[in-house]
Amino acid sequence: MPTDNTVDVPQHRDALAALTDFQRDRQFRLIRKFSELLRPALRAGEEVLFGSPASRPLSLVDIYYQGMLAGHYGRYVLMFTTERLFVFPTRGDFFPRASISFIEYGDLDRIEVSGFISKNKITLRTRRGMRERFKLHYEDIGPRVAAEIPDRVRVGRPTERGERAFLCPKCHSIIGRESFECSRCGTRFKSRAEALRRSMLIPGGGYFYTGEYFYGIADAIVEATLLLYMLIVIVDVAANGLDAKGVAALVGGTILIAFEKAMSVRHALAAVETYMVDE
């Protein structure tokens, strides 16, 4: 039996009718989770078609540079409406951040749906030549995207922007690129400079700044362990002189700390680039 399907977001009746009870209930739960961000951003007459959690496919370079957390900041929820594709950057568990972005169908050159077994990989190509790829976690949504969205792309009206844009979650005006304050309502967003400063000076500071407390604690423990190791090595070198073993220990410790700092900075900056409200 269907569960509670009360959603205070306008939905497209035909799109809903095409879903099974299970799929419809899942859509209600997903939309309800993001309704506070989505509802005020919708235009008059704009309706939600369907949505899905999604992630970015990772390249070998991503995995090499970011390690086990490579996919953590590549989590999204995609919401397809009758006019636009909303892209919500999320936490690792697909819960909302205070962040919202969208792309007009008219600003897409085309949308491609692919996949070897399941058609759950979509590629967005904008009129400006930019490309974004996502893997849909609701595999049944891929075929619906392929059937429904290309026609909307063909008739959509292009804008001068021609790419994905972020909205202020407070007043829903478009945020200027590289701007960390809303020009309309003055809402401040977490800044790249502050994320970099905290990542460099405070163990786990970048994660704490972007609200990732679990990873912040884990990173702080790792960094404190590395710093203690370096202190022990330096004390040993001061007492016994610098030999080949001491050089290897110093170089190895320095490389580990540098790698840990680089990864912390990379993750903090990736989170900041989703224009989270600085509360």
- Looking at the structure, tell me whether residues 129 and 233 fall in a common domain: no
- Specify if 4 maps to a domain: no
- Looking at the structure, tell me whether residues 131 and 256 fall in a common domain: no
Final residue belonging to a domain, choices 150, 167, 184: 167
- Specify if 231 maps to a domain: yes
- Looking at the structure, tell me whether residues 39 and 120 fall in a common domain: yes
Residue 85 structural domain = 13-167
Of the candidate ranges 60-69, 71-80, 148-157, 219-228, the one whose mean pLDDT is the lowest: 60-69
Does residue 6 have a pLDDT over 70? no
- Looking at the structure, tell me whether residues 267 and 147 fall in a common domain: no
- Specify if 267 maps to a domain: yes
- Looking at the structure, tell me whether residues 86 and 148 fall in a common domain: yes
- Specify if 27 maps to a domain: yes
Side-by-side strand order, sheet with 121-126: 108-114, 121-126, 131-136, 48-55, 75-81, 84-89, 100-104, 165-167
- Specify if 119 maps to a domain: yes
- Looking at the structure, tell me whether residues 198 and 119 fall in a common domain: no
Does residue 64 have a pLDDT over 70? no
pLDDT band at 68 (very low <50, low <70, confident <90, very high): very low
Mean pLDDT value across residues 50-77: 68
- Specify if 182 maps to a domain: no
- Looking at the structure, tell me whether residues 157 and 265 fall in a common domain: no
Would you state the pLDDT for residue 62?
57
Please count the structural domains in the chain.
2
Q: 3-state SS of 215-279?
A: HHHHHHHHHHHHHHHHHHHHHHHHHHCCCHHHHHHHHHHHHHHHHHHHHHHHHHHHHHCCCCECC
**pLDDT higher for 106 or 212?**
106
- Looking at the structure, tell me whether residues 144 and 207 fall in a common domain: no
What confidence tens digit (pLDDT) does each residue in 132-177 have?
899 999 989 999 999 999 999 999 999 988 888 999 989 999 998 7
- Specify if 179 maps to a domain: no
- Looking at the structure, tell me whether residues 153 and 252 fall in a common domain: no
Does residue 70 have a pLDDT over 70? no
